[in-house]
Amino acid sequence: MTPLRQKMINDMKLRNFSPRTQYAYESAVAGLAQFFNCSPDMLNNENVQAYLVYLMEDRKLSWSSCNIVISGLRFFYDVTLSKQSMSLTIPPRKKKKYLPEILSTEELERLFVCACNLKHRSFLMTTYAGGLRVSEVVRLKLTDIDSKRMMIRVEQGKGNRDRYTILSERLLKELREYWKMYHPQLWLFHAKDPKKPMPIGTAQKIYYHAKSTAQIKKGKGIHTLRHCFATHLLEAGVDLRTIQTLMGHTSISTTMMYLQVTRKKLTSIKSPLDLLEIHDSKQII
């Protein structure tokens, strides 16, 4: 590891960046250096802008992906190299907003049944039952499952905040069966090495395999299960503030998105077409 790279890592650690942010920023700088085949501290503003054009035009990276690269490069030049003269900006663009696709209860049942084994099924059920982000569920420890209070402790979730979410009785029964078979020691869902948590990539593969086997076309990645958790709670009559707390949302406006996808309220509305008395066209003729 070069001294420059180590300095950047130390700068990020001092600012308490999450491991995922550190990895993303390191990758951004490494990609730039590889593109020009030279140390990034030897490049100028025009070089960096040319690299960003390459990412957008040639590699067709999404706007959000380019923004992550820009953030990483800006940190490297502004903080690590103290080159505030580097102007790394791209014109703002309206972000497209997509509503999540929600799985029905029947589809969720098929998904869990089609999981390869007890470990995979328990993992998917935990993600859904607690409304957890994939980065949170893979880092759950045995001690985070509080069967006395029927709660799951989420330690240092998004934004470096702790929170509690609900522990389902059905899930607790499933986890006890899982423990009897696999005997996890530290991490609830560990990697091949029991001392390490399950990689996020493995978690996504588990979800996609079960989804494919269940022949479910709706939804994207495993984050769909978190969307389902919030939407199904809302349809069951749970108030938005409680759902906000369980989800770990900083703002209630984020939670309010699920008002747009909840079936309970939308299906109770009658279309104005249903109010019209339309006679058969043959009778009119």
Domain boundaries, given as residue ranges, for the chain? 3-80, 105-266
Distance of CA 173 to the CA centre of its chain: 26
pLDDT at position 223 is 94
CATH superfamily of 3-80: Tyrosine recombinase, N-terminal domain (1.10.150.130)
The pair of structure tokens assigned to 139 is 């880092």
Average pLDDT (35-56) is 90
pLDDT at position 256 is 87
d(CA 154, CA 139): 9
CATH superfamily of 105-266: Intergrase catalytic core (1.10.443.10)
The pair of structure tokens assigned to 19 is 């491991």
Average pLDDT, the chain: 88
Instruction: Mean pLDDT check: name the lowest of 94-108, 117-131, 232-246.
Output: 94-108
d(CA 98, CA 279): 38
Catalytic residue list: 133, 158, 223, 226, 249, 258
pLDDT at position 279 is 65
Quickly list H helices, the chain: 3-14, 19-36, 45-57, 63-75, 105-113, 118-130, 134-137, 169-182, 200-213, 223-235, 240-247, 252-255, 263-266, 281-284
202-216, 240-254, 271-285: range with highest mean pLDDT: 202-216
Radius of gyration of the chain (CA): 24
pLDDT at residue 192 is higher than 80: yes
Average pLDDT (189-214) is 94
Query: Which one has a higher pLDDT value, 90 or 111?
Result: 111
pLDDT at residue 283 is higher than 60: no
3-80 and 105-266 share one fold: no
pLDDT at residue 175 is higher than 90: yes
Average pLDDT (238-260) is 89
d(CA 252, CA 239): 11
- Residue 55: how many CB atoms within 10 A of its CB? 19
d(CA 2, CA 32): 15
Q: Is 113 exposed, middle or buried (0-12, 13-18, 19+ CB in 10 A)?
A: exposed
Q: Is 111 exposed, middle or buried (0-12, 13-18, 19+ CB in 10 A)?
A: buried
pLDDT at residue 282 is higher than 60: no
Average pLDDT (270-276) is 70
Residues 6+ apart with CB under 8 A from 161: 248
Average pLDDT (7-25) is 92
pLDDT at residue 49 is higher than 60: yes
pLDDT, tens only, 143-162: 999 999 999 999 877 767 89
Return the closest-CA partner of residue 82 out of 188, 4, 177.
4
* % of the chain beyond a pLDDT of 70: 88
pLDDT at position 157 is 72
Return the closest-CA partner of residue 238 out of 255, 224, 253, 223.
255
